[in-house]
Amino acid sequence: MTLIHLHNTKTRTKEPFKPIDPQNVRMYVCGPTVYDRAHLGNARPVLVFDVLFRLLRHVYGDGAVTYIRNFTDVDDKINAKAAQTGRTIRDICDETIDWYHADMDSLGAMRPSQEPRATEWIGAMKDMIAGLIETGNAYAAEGHVLFAVESYQNYGKLSGRSIDDMIAGARVEVAPYKRNPMDFVLWKPSDADTPGWDSPWGYGRPGWHIECSAMAYELLGDSFDIHGGGNDLQFPHHENEIAQSKCAHPHGEFAKYWIHNEMLQVEGKKMSKSLGNFFTVRDLLDQGVPGEVIRFVMLGTHYSKPMDWTDKKRAEAEATLRKWRALLADVAPTGVDQGLLDTLADDLNTAGALTKLHAMAREISANPQKDCFYEKGVMLASAQFLGFLSDEMGAWAEMPDVDLSVLAQKLAELRETAMQTKDFSGVDTLKSALIGAGIEVRMSKTGVDLEPGPNFDPAKLEALS
């Protein structure tokens, strides 16, 4: 069996993954707040944990892994959008969830086992809040319920912060009803124009942090294997989840392993609207960037490092995937390469796994006379295991009805004629057109070789046919 190792944020070490129950491997990942399109950074945890989901299913069995990713559909940003547009909150959330599914599907991400909506679990949240009040870990004040941070002695352990440091670093105005500046909201009041539910503490709605704790407990139990998300959630969201969950269910472990992915940059800079480099997944798809290409670029960087989206990487990924699809067009998948699995199992090393695929492609291409049918099948199975080269993802890569070998022969004949007439205008015209279409033109004494380059645009070849 492939042995998985993961870097556990909780222990700050890379550890062998030993599930609580190998027949029931459980993972929870924080999902989106559904008020607008998912930006490119939102796609990174989706793809990181999609690969981990695939790996866990491969090792323990498809039916032995449960992956939960929630939708936050009660939030002040959603309320503000409803007030601004005059639309209902339900309508906005339903539309946004449909967008999210369509965009993430286009990246080849598998749907999680379950995708609970926060509003479906309000009762469970109220039950957990009531229990925390009863044990003295939370208190009601002025229509709010707050978690008493000082009641949990390990608060700050996940992120490596002390309560004193967090208080000293706080720059927010402290509400007068808080006993401690770090106490956080479990329940807050709602007015007549804001979504709310009846509760022992008045008409209101849950705070953000209690959502994931309640849903994780109801769907995965008081102890489960993996909790994941972006490292921007490590504090305060995940820290607060641990505190309230451990106090609500002191005999449980909550999450055994914590996995956090780093953030995304664009051309070396933080993505932001003020810099003009902010875009959504849908923006890229509408610009003609294939979802498979976005996935390739994303997985080319280890999840623990900042991922820099660049146009150069996009072009290289597109060229690579075209080559691989052409190379493996005549085979069926066989078995996933064990070396690739071992690489991936070493703390989800997707960049190393892609390097393995590059090596396979070079080996196959270097032996054109050898029957590489089996090797091609292994490469295809390995690529598809990572979410690439499936038929569903490949429509973008379909070549126009232009044969590069025919164009290469045509250029060779023009050159042969030009050698006699000394008129190379025809050669230069065709060569320029090929280069303009992103074709690398190599001319030697032995002939002409045409190779799609990083900026290959097959549509520009149609006029040459």
Q: Note the pLDDT tens digit of each residue in 292-313.
A: 999 999 999 999 999 999 999 9
Comparing 240 with 192, which gets the higher pLDDT? Answer: 240
- Residue 225's pLDDT is 98
Query: CATH 1.20.120.640 region(s) of the chain?
Result: 308-396
Task: Give the burial class of 157: count Cβ atoms within 10 A of its Cβ; 0-12 exposed, 13-18 middle, 19 or more buried.
Answer: middle
Question: How far is it, in rounded angstroms, from Cα 340 to Cα 358?
Answer: 11
Asked if residue 330 has pLDDT above 90, the reply is no
- Residue 354's pLDDT is 98
- Residue 399's pLDDT is 59
Compute how many other C-beta atoms are within 10 angstroms of the C-beta atom of residue 119: 18
- Residue 127's pLDDT is 98
Contact partners, residue 176, CB within 8 Å, separation at least 6: none
What is the SS3 assignment for 266? strand
Question: How far is it, in rounded angstroms, from Cα 233 to Cα 355?
Answer: 30
16-54 as b/e, with b when 16 or more CB fall inside 10 Å? ebebeeeebbbbbbbbbbbbeebbbbbbbbbbbbbbbbb
Question: How far is it, in rounded angstroms, from Cα 325 to Cα 84?
Answer: 47
Q: Which CATH number fits domain 308-396: 1.10.1200.10, 1.20.120.640, 1.10.645.10, 3.30.70.1170?
A: 1.20.120.640
Parallel, antiparallel, or unpaired: how do β-strands 254-261 and 223-230 relate?
parallel
- Residue 164's pLDDT is 72
Kindly give the residue spans of alpha helices, DSSP state H, lying in 221-280.
Answer: 239-248
Tell me the angle at which helices 338-345 and 40-60 cross, rounded to the nearest 10 degrees: 120
Question: How far is it, in rounded angstroms, from Cα 284 to Cα 288?
Answer: 7
Site of tokens 């045409």 = 450
Q: What is the mean pLDDT of residues 238-263?
A: 97
Q: Which of 78, 83, 27 is nearest to 51 (CA)?
A: 27
Lowest mean pLDDT among 144-158, 219-233, 390-404: 390-404
Instruction: Name the pTM for this structure.
Output: 0.87
- Residue 402's pLDDT is 61
Compute how many other C-beta atoms are within 10 angstroms of the C-beta atom of residue 232: 13
Compute how many other C-beta atoms are within 10 angstroms of the C-beta atom of residue 191: 8
Lookup: tokens for 431 = 């060569």
Q: How confident is the model at residue 90 (pLDDT cuts 50, 70, 90)?
A: very high
Asked if residue 168 has pLDDT above 70, the reply is no
Peptide bond into 236 cis (omega under 30): yes
Site of tokens 């149609």 = 462
Q: Which CATH number fits domain 17-264: 3.40.50.620, 3.10.20.90, 2.40.128.50, 3.30.1280.10?
A: 3.40.50.620
Question: How far is it, in rounded angstroms, from Cα 422 to Cα 415?
Answer: 9
Q: How confident is the model at residue 465 (pLDDT cuts 50, 70, 90)?
A: low
Query: CATH 3.40.50.620 region(s) of the chain?
Result: 17-264
Q: How confident is the model at residue 385 (pLDDT cuts 50, 70, 90)?
A: very high
The beta strands (E) that lie in 19-64 are given as 25-29
Kindly give the residue spans of alpha helices, DSSP state H, lying in 149-236.
Answer: 163-169, 208-220
Lowest mean pLDDT among 192-196, 254-258, 294-298: 192-196
Asked if residue 242 has pLDDT above 60, the reply is yes
Amino acid at 26: R
- Residue 460's pLDDT is 76
Compute how many other C-beta atoms are within 10 angstroms of the C-beta atom of residue 288: 10
Question: How far is it, in rounded angstroms, from Cα 314 to Cα 280?
Answer: 15
- Residue 405's pLDDT is 79
Q: Note the pLDDT tens digit of each residue in 11-51.
A: 999 999 999 999 999 999 999 999 999 999 999 999 999 99
Contact partners, residue 414, CB within 8 Å, separation at least 6: 426, 427, 430
Asked if residue 453 has pLDDT above 80, the reply is no
Question: How far is it, in rounded angstroms, from Cα 306 to Cα 183?
Answer: 31
- Residue 179's pLDDT is 93
Parallel, antiparallel, or unpaired: how do β-strands 138-141 and 144-147 relate?
antiparallel
What is the SS3 assignment for 289? coil
Asked if residue 454 has pLDDT above 80, the reply is no
Asked if residue 462 has pLDDT above 70, the reply is no
The CA distances from residue 313 to 45, 93, 299, in Å, are 19, 33, 11
Asked if residue 167 has pLDDT above 70, the reply is no
Asked if residue 5 has pLDDT above 90, the reply is yes
Q: How confident is the model at residue 366 (pLDDT cuts 50, 70, 90)?
A: confident
Q: What is the mean pLDDT of residues 114-140?
A: 98
- Residue 457's pLDDT is 74
Q: Which of 217, 212, 201 is nearest to 139 (CA)?
A: 201
